[in-house]
Amino acid sequence: MNISKIVAFGLLAVLASACASSGNNEMQTAQERRACADIGLDPGSAIFASCVGNLDASMFEANTSAYR
Protein backbone atom coordinates (compact mmCIF):
# COMPACT_ATOMS: atom_id res chain seq x y z
CA MET A 1 0.00 0.00 0.00
CA ASN A 2 1.53 3.31 -0.95
CA ILE A 3 1.75 6.35 1.31
CA SER A 4 -1.04 8.31 -0.42
CA LYS A 5 -3.53 5.51 0.28
CA ILE A 6 -2.46 5.38 3.91
CA VAL A 7 -2.90 9.14 4.26
CA ALA A 8 -6.30 8.98 2.53
CA PHE A 9 -7.51 6.23 4.88
CA GLY A 10 -6.22 8.18 7.87
CA LEU A 11 -8.09 11.30 6.81
CA LEU A 12 -11.24 9.27 6.24
CA ALA A 13 -10.96 7.83 9.75
CA VAL A 14 -10.53 11.30 11.26
CA LEU A 15 -13.51 12.69 9.36
CA ALA A 16 -15.70 9.72 10.31
CA SER A 17 -14.82 10.07 14.00
CA ALA A 18 -15.54 13.81 13.88
CA CYS A 19 -18.98 13.16 12.42
CA ALA A 20 -19.73 10.51 15.02
CA SER A 21 -18.60 12.67 17.92
CA SER A 22 -20.68 15.62 16.71
CA GLY A 23 -23.91 13.76 17.43
CA ASN A 24 -22.58 12.61 20.79
CA ASN A 25 -21.53 16.16 21.64
CA GLU A 26 -25.01 17.52 20.91
CA MET A 27 -26.56 14.83 23.09
CA GLN A 28 -24.07 15.48 25.88
CA THR A 29 -24.73 19.24 25.73
CA ALA A 30 -28.47 18.62 25.95
CA GLN A 31 -27.92 16.38 28.99
CA GLU A 32 -25.70 18.99 30.64
CA ARG A 33 -28.30 21.71 30.04
CA ARG A 34 -31.00 19.43 31.44
CA ALA A 35 -28.94 18.69 34.55
CA CYS A 36 -28.42 22.39 35.23
CA ALA A 37 -32.12 23.12 34.65
CA ASP A 38 -33.10 20.23 36.92
CA ILE A 39 -31.32 21.81 39.86
CA GLY A 40 -33.39 24.93 39.35
CA LEU A 41 -31.10 27.25 37.41
CA ASP A 42 -32.75 29.64 34.96
CA PRO A 43 -31.66 28.74 31.39
CA GLY A 44 -31.22 32.42 30.53
CA SER A 45 -28.94 33.22 33.45
CA ALA A 46 -25.19 33.56 33.65
CA ILE A 47 -25.05 30.95 36.42
CA PHE A 48 -26.81 28.47 34.10
CA ALA A 49 -24.21 29.08 31.37
CA SER A 50 -21.48 28.65 33.96
CA CYS A 51 -23.05 25.41 35.18
CA VAL A 52 -23.23 24.00 31.65
CA GLY A 53 -19.65 25.06 30.91
CA ASN A 54 -18.28 23.60 34.13
CA LEU A 55 -20.19 20.38 33.65
CA ASP A 56 -18.95 20.13 30.07
CA ALA A 57 -15.35 20.64 31.19
CA SER A 58 -15.75 18.01 33.90
CA MET A 59 -17.26 15.51 31.48
CA PHE A 60 -14.47 16.19 28.94
CA GLU A 61 -11.85 15.57 31.62
CA ALA A 62 -13.57 12.39 32.79
CA ASN A 63 -13.90 11.08 29.22
CA THR A 64 -10.33 11.86 28.22
CA SER A 65 -8.67 10.68 31.42
CA ALA A 66 -9.98 7.18 30.74
CA TYR A 67 -7.70 7.03 27.67
CA ARG A 68 -4.50 8.13 29.45
Quickly state the pLDDT bin for 55 (edges 50, 70, 90): very high
Number of independent structural domains in the chain: 1
3: in domain: no
Q: Domain containing 65: what range?
A: 25-68
Amino acid at site 52: V
The answer, yes or no, to whether residue 9 has pLDDT greater than 60, is no
Question: Is residue 4, in this structure, part of any structural domain at all?
Answer: no
The answer to the question of residue 66 being in a domain is: yes
- Predicted structure pTM score: 0.62
Q: Do 18 and 6 form a contact (C-beta atoms < 8 A)?
A: no
2 within domain boundaries = no
Domain presence at residue 1: no
Q: Is residue 5 part of a domain?
A: no
| 6, part of any domain | no
